[in-house]
Every structure is written in structure tokens, then in C-alpha cells.
Amino acid sequence: MSDFEILSDSDEEIKQNIIPLKFEKKLLNLIVKFGGNVFPKFNQKAPIDAKWININYSLLCTSCQEIYILLKASNKILLNSDNDKNELVIKKWININPAYEFRCYVIEKKLFAISQRDVTHKYDYIQDECLKICEETLLFFNNYLNSFPEKHYSFDIYRPCSDKIILIDINPHIPDQQSYLLFNLDDFNCSNISSIKASYFYKSDEKNEIAFRFIQDMDNIQLNSNTFNMLPDELLQFDQLINIQNIKETITKLNF
């Protein structure tokens, strides 16, 4: 996959020379194996910035062509394609509610912080269940990830209900590529966790302190940065686009 390029459907002969039939057949078999709905990743990166180009506005793919289009349209994948160990990862697609997703950060093999995964919405239930979320996440970490060999990494979990946590993914801690969501890099360079601003601090009996951040009011909702990938470059170059309202007004004036 390191040197492949996707061409238009109008040049099928050249396309077959670039994407081997054997590879495409294996990819199709995986799609069938996983019930027709899959989620593609490329090494540690998912083409989330290109989901706007998909007909269902998600990373759900039902064909080889949809996978090719997502990979081709993603800047995240393009920037990662120079790696010598490129791998296309295909996972079974499962519908999940983003309200129950959390990203957890491990520093020096200790659960250091938890962030609400979807930073574009405010979920009222988190405020009421923040203690249980921290308790159950720490218990999950101690039971299943405490012996993980890396010292610094992050992992994503899905908590659809109380006392049930599903591990979604584990990613290495790479400062210039890490997504910190409601935190920032300075928070993780801080020697004293108590000095970090957090929505809630959890301290277990083992003196394990965890900083938990979630959106408490509408003013803290963040704009989805991937939304800008579906806008023309000319539109993004306007200096006056400093907030959502100005973006909406500019789009209206330009008849987009």
C-alpha cells in the first residue's frame, strides 16, 4: 500500500496495474466477513478528516471503492504515507453513541487523565456520573491495561452503561501528533496534577489522581476541525472567518 494511487473509474486498465486484483479480492473478502460494513484505518491514523466525502458522512464503508476514496481524500493518511511500515487495517463497523466515548491518557504507566471524546456536544449525564466514570475506568485500566508495556499512551473506551466498558483503541503518545481533546500538551508536562484545571478530580484509595474534563456549558463546545475539510480553500482564506456566525454569513453571501 506504500506506493499506491487511486485513479478515476474511467481508467480501469491503469487502475488494475496499481491496485492488484489479489489485494482487492482480499479486501472484498474482509468486507463480506464483517457483514458488509467496515471501518478502515491506515497504521495509527483513520481518515476522519475525509468522512464528509462519504455518502453517509461517516467512516462506514461497504465497498472497496469507498475505502479507496476515503484514503485518497484524507490529509491525515497522506501525511502518514511516508512510513516504511504502512498497513491498511479493516475493522468491523459498529454503531456507537458518541456521548459514551472517552479518551484516557496514561503517563508513566498511571492513568493520568480522562477527556470527553466528542467535544462538539454537551452531555448532561456526564456531570451526574463523573465519579462512577472515573471509578470504572480506573478499575478497567488496572484489570486489563496495567501491564501494557508502553509507559505513555492513550486509549479510547466506550461506556454504554454502568459497569460496562469496551476498549476501542490504543494509540502511542506522540506529542506532535497526539489529539488532546479538552486537554493540551502543557497539561501533560505538568509535574503536579493538582495544578491542572479539570472539571472533576478523582482520587482513589491508592492515591491515584485523575483529571477528568468534560464540557459543562455550551460556551466550551469546540468546533469540529474536520468540518473545514469540506469547505473550499478560497472560503477558508477569508480573514473575517473568526467564528461560526461569520462563516454562516459569508457562505450565505457567496450562495454556497
What is the 3 state secondary structure string of 61-93? Answer: ECCHHHHHHHHHHCHHHHHHCCCCCCCEEEEEC
Which residues of the chain form beta strands (DSSP E)? 38-42, 88-92, 101-107, 110-116, 153-161, 164-172, 200-203, 209-213
Q: 98-220 — its CATH code?
A: 3.30.470
pLDDT of residue 173: 79
Q: What is the DSSP pairing of strand 110-116 with strand 88-92?
A: unpaired
State percent of the chain over pLDDT 70: 74
Tell me the pLDDT band of 3, cut-offs 50, 70 and 90: very low
Amino acid 240: pLDDT: 47
Beta bridge partners of 105: 113, 154
Structure confidence at residue 203 as a pLDDT band (50, 70, 90): confident
Lookup result for grid cell 485523575:
210
- The pLDDT-based confidence of 248 (bands split at 50, 70, 90) is low
> Is the pTM higher than 0.85?
no
Flag whether pLDDT at 229 surpasses 80.
no
Structure confidence by residue, pLDDT tens digits, 5-53 = 444 454 454 455 577 889 999 999 999 999 999 999 887 788 888 888 8
Lowest mean pLDDT among 10-24, 66-80, 112-126, 161-175: 10-24
**CA dihedral angle for residue 54, residue 215, residue 222, residue 229, rounded to 10 degrees:** -20
The grid coordinates listed for 141 are: 485500566
Question: Side chain identity at 127, as an amino acid letter?
Answer: Q
- Choose the weakest-confidence range: 45-59, 108-122, 196-210: 196-210
Q: What is the mean pLDDT of residues 132-152?
A: 94
Cell 472517552: give the residue: 102
| pLDDT digits 0-9 by tens, 84-120 | 677 899 999 989 999 999 999 998 899 999 999 999 8
Every domain of the chain and the residues it spans: 12-92, 98-220, 224-256
Four-point Cα dihedral 115, 135, 141, 106, nearest 10: 40
